[in-house]
Amino acid sequence: MSVKNLIINEDNNNRRVDNYLISILKNVPKSKIYKIIRRGEVRINSSRVKASYKLKAGDKLRIPPNIYINEKNIKNINQDTLDLHTNDILFENSNYLITNKNANISVHGGTKNNIGLIDIFRKKFNKDLDLCHRLDKNTTGCLVLAKNKKSVLHFNKLLKDQNITKKYHAILKGQLKQNIEVNEPIYKDDKNKKKLAMTQFNIIETFNDLTLVEVIIFTGRTHQIRIHSKMINHPILFDSRYGDLDFNKTIELKTVKNIALHAKNITFKDMNNKRISADSPYPESFILLLNELNV
């Protein structure tokens, strides 16, 4: 097997060589990666480098023989699946793509779900696409993907600095009497690893024993809206994990009882300070649910 030579592109400019190698040599133990760097088997422009070396666009990177470069696995996905999940693009430019996510599809594949939404989009558009954030399996609406690593990093910084506006619509158990702001730390599994989280619930309309709300999240914790709605004793309708299962059984509907949570809008600024905003229409299941509940 011959030596491999790669030319570093602009997307990986200023990236540490060890981190870059870890990302493309996923089948190689980290200890071995650091070993081949120390031994000088990895060369940049024919010279030995340290693990901390910052790559520059145009650098020629030499990787020794018998080291397998991992390619993102493009899974076998049929055309119907591609069409079903990629036919509702809300926004697209050279850096970002925002899709209107369907229910019943995980963003990542796993042991129970071999194919995730990211696999579908990489198959259809570009194997280098990456998710900027996540939505739960049965949550619908705005989902942002990045076409390059610089855009992912930019989006992550915006998230960290709370410079992204995410608005959801949800149907909650009970009637809210007023708008509620929840500023309570949450945890998913480990009580010792609580993280700050802030959520605003704004009433859109109340009816029967339910309330349609706009939800604005200022932090992006796992299951944040679902956990905070439970904390205020107004869990999301048909939430199988944090909801009121007995109450859910009392709701007689002809439609599918999917969690009543929809990512309605996302707004942020790109690397050139240009405003990007996408608004997602309700999926058919949410519309039918609202109609049956006579909202």
Does the pLDDT of residue 70 top 70, yes or no? Answer: no
> Where does the pLDDT of residue 217 fall: very low under 50, low under 70, confident under 90, or very high at 90 and above?
very high
- Taking Cα atoms as reference points, which of 204, 205, 208 lies closest to residue 216? 204
**What is the reported pLDDT for 207?**
85
Pick the catalytic residue from 119, 136, 239, 244.
Answer: 136
> Where does the pLDDT of residue 10 fall: very low under 50, low under 70, confident under 90, or very high at 90 and above?
confident
Does the pLDDT of residue 9 top 80, yes or no? Answer: yes
CATH topology for 79-292 is Pseudouridine synthase (3.30.2350)
In the chain, what percentage of residues exceed pLDDT 70? 93
Taking only the tens place, the pLDDT of each residue in 119-150 is 999 999 987 899 999 999 999 999 999 999 89
Does the pLDDT of residue 285 top 90, yes or no? Answer: no
Identity of residue 206: T
Does the pLDDT of residue 69 top 60, yes or no? Answer: yes
Q: Is 136 a catalytic residue?
A: yes
Taking only the tens place, the pLDDT of each residue in 13-68 is 888 999 889 888 877 888 999 999 999 999 999 999 999 999 998 999 999 887 86
CATH topology for 4-63 is 3.10.290
**What is the reported pLDDT for 24?**
84
Cβ-contact 264, 167 below 8 angstroms = yes
Q: In the chain, what are the domain boundaries?
A: 4-63, 79-292
What's this model's pTM, rounded to 2 decimal places?
0.79
Does the pLDDT of residue 193 top 70, yes or no? Answer: yes
Which position has the token pair 């109450």?
247
